[in-house]
């Protein structure tokens, strides 16, 4: 993963990681210098859904919250499920 990001650095404007937990983990465990300035979109779903696969834990000490409202959160309700999302940037 790290070699791919080094190769693409400065050549593309945006890249989206939509893979599973192993792909996310590989990206998060790379050289932290490569993540500086990278944005991550975190969604928190309210409720219990019996899930057995989870996103790797984030170190929020290395992130700064971005947002345009008072708390930076955007809240939605769909089909009686409430979720919020917030954008963070690696520092």
pLDDT tens for the 91 residues of the chain, in order: 667 767 777 787 777 777 777 888 888 887 788 788 888 888 888 998 888 888 888 888 889 988 765 555 778 899 999 998 888 899 8
Distances (CA, A) of 77 to 24, 49, 86: 26, 16, 15
Rounded to whole angstroms, the Cα distance separating 88 from 66 reads 5
Range of the domain at 53: 2-90
What's the number of domains the chain is made of? 1
Any idea what the CATH number is for the domain that residue 22 is in?
Answer: 3.40.430.10
What is the pTM for the complete model shown?
0.69
Given CA atoms 83, 14, 2, 67 in this order, what sign does their dihedral have?
A: negative
């Amino acid at each position: 993963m790290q070699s791919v990001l080094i190769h693409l650095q400065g050549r593309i404007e945006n890249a989206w990681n939509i893979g599973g937990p192993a792909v996310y983990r590989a990206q998060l465990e790379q050289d932290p210098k490569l993540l500086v300035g990278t944005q991550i979109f975190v969604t928190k779903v309210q409720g219990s859904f019996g899930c057995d696969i989870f996103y790797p834990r984030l170190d929020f000490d290395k992130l700064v919250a971005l947002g345009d409202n008072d708390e930076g959160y955007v809240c939605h309700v769909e089909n009686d499920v409430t979720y919020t999302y917030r954008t963070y940037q690696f520092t």
